[in-house]
Amino acid sequence: MGGAVMSTDSEESESENKLSMQQFRWTPAKETLLEEILMKHFFDFHAAAKEFTRIINDQASGECYQIDAKSL
């Protein structure tokens, strides 16, 4: 039987990390931005992480970050 070889979730996750993940570096300006976003969302970390990630990625030149509520 012929067929396509399917990759596992962990393999897909590893390849995504190699392509898109960069180490995020905190600066005082980024900390202030996060604080403002957290207050805006009434400390809803999930919503704040989503908006913060979008803003950081829009500002990044050629880099991509993935930040979730647990990593804040």
Q: Does the residue 27 lie in any domain? A: yes
Supply the pTM of this predicted model.
0.64
pLDDT in tens, the chain (72 residues): 555 544 444 444 444 444 355 678 889 999 999 999 999 999 999 999 999 999 998 887 777 888 888 877
Question: Which structural domain range is residue 67 located in?
Answer: 9-71
The total number of structural domains that make up the chain: 1
Q: Does the residue 31 lie in any domain? A: yes
Q: Does the residue 3 lie in any domain? A: no
pLDDT given for residue 59 in this prediction: 86
Q: Does the residue 4 lie in any domain? A: no
pLDDT given for residue 17 in this prediction: 46
SS (H, E, C) 2-47: CCCCCCCHHHHHHHHHHHHCCCCCCCHHHHHHHHHHHHHCCCCHHH
